[in-house]
């Protein structure tokens, strides 16, 4: 099968990073955490778009280059390849769809980080940050991704019924009942779910 992985929220703990460094940054602005389960730093601290940009200008480089990969993700990628699966990255990482120098820099940083953390993959596709549900759905359908592991409810709900989905745990997808049958807790459970889906696919006789 072709196994698709989201990056932010799946291969890296974006929620933990935003809270940790957001509290450090916005404490000086006298802005406490308002919505800890929100997806975007702007909503977590109810800050202005300008303050959001200032935060990421300061902290984006550490996030892109030095934040550790989710435990077990590298080992999972190797096991999937050993089992004969294709591994595909499908990400809406900020700035990666931009043209020019900024886009090249952010694509190279992501590729460097994946290599640094020994995550093996066959292909990588970049999606629009502002329209990721549509972009991810189009990419998964057009490039025959059989399973997508993602954390963002909008992406998962857009693909539900079209391909297999796996909901990776994040505070912003808690309480979304339609995703409950697809939830896992860690990368070991991702592997078990993929084995089940693979066995089901192998036994399917149309």
Strands 147-150 and 2-5: parallel
Lowest mean pLDDT among 10-14, 53-57, 148-152, 201-205: 201-205
User: What are the structure tokens assigned to 9, written together?
Assistant: 């929220």
User: What are the structure tokens assigned to 91, written together?
Assistant: 């990400």
pTM score of the predicted model:
0.94
pLDDT at 69: 98
Nearest to 2 by CA among 120, 173, 123: 123
Across the beta sheet with 86-91, the strand order is 123-126, 86-91, 2-5, 147-150, 164-167
pLDDT at 201: 77
Task: Determine contact, residues 126/138, Cβ cutoff 8 Å.
Answer: no
**What does the pLDDT look like over 152-178, one tens digit per residue?**
999 999 999 999 999 999 999 999 999
pLDDT at 130: 87
**What does the pLDDT look like over 104-151, one tens digit per residue?**
999 999 999 999 999 999 999 999 988 999 999 999 999 999 999 999
pLDDT above 70 (res 206): no
Determine the distance from the C-alpha atom of residue 204 to the mean position of all C-alpha atoms in its chain, rounded to a whole number. Answer: 30
From residue 47, alpha-carbon distances to 50, 160, 171 in Å are 8, 33, 20
DSSP 170: -
Helix intervals (H) in the chain: 14-26, 41-45, 49-66, 73-82, 100-116, 132-142, 153-159, 187-203
pLDDT at 205: 47
CB crowding 93-106: b at 16 or more within 10 Å, else e: bebbbeeeeeeeeb
User: What are the structure tokens assigned to 18, written together?
Assistant: 């935003």
Determine the Cα angle at 142 with ends 181 and 94, to 5°. Answer: 75
DSSP string, 15-55: HHHHHHHHHHHHTTTT---S-TT-SSHHHHHT--HHHHHHH
Q: Please give the domain boundaries of the chain with CATH numbers for all domains.
A: 2-12+69-203 (3.40.50.1000), 14-66 (no CATH)
pLDDT at 204: 53
The whole-number average pLDDT for the span 82-110 is 97
Nearest to 91 by CA among 62, 132, 131: 132
**What does the pLDDT look like over 25-76, one tens digit per residue?**
999 999 999 999 999 999 999 999 999 999 999 999 999 999 999 999 999 9
pLDDT above 70 (res 191): yes
């Amino acid at each position: 099968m072709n196994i698709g992985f989201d990056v932010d929220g799946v291969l890296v703990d974006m929620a933990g990073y935003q809270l940790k460094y957001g509290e450090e940054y916005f404490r000086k602005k006298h802005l406490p955490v308002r919505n800890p389960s929100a997806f975007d730093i702007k909503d977590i601290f109810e800050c202005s778009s300008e303050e959001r940009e200032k935060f990421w200008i300061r902290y984006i480089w550490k996030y892109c280059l030095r934040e550790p990969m989710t435990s077990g993700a590298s080992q999972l990628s190797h096991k999937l390849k050993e089992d004969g699966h294709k591994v595909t990255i499908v990400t809406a990482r900020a700035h990666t769809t931009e043209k020019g120098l900024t886009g090249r820099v952010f694509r190279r940083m992501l590729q460097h980080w994946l290599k640094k953390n020994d995550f093996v993959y066959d292909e990588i596709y970049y999606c629009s940050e502002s329209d990721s549900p549509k972009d991810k759905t189009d990419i998964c359908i057009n490039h025959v991704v059989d399973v997508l592991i993602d954390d963002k409810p909008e992406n998962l709900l857009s693909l539900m019924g079209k391909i297999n989905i796996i909901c990776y745990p994040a505070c912003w997808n808690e309480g979304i009942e339609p995703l409950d049958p697809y939830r896992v807790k860690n990368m070991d459970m991702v592997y078990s779910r993929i084995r089940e889906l693979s066995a089901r696919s192998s036994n399917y006789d149309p």
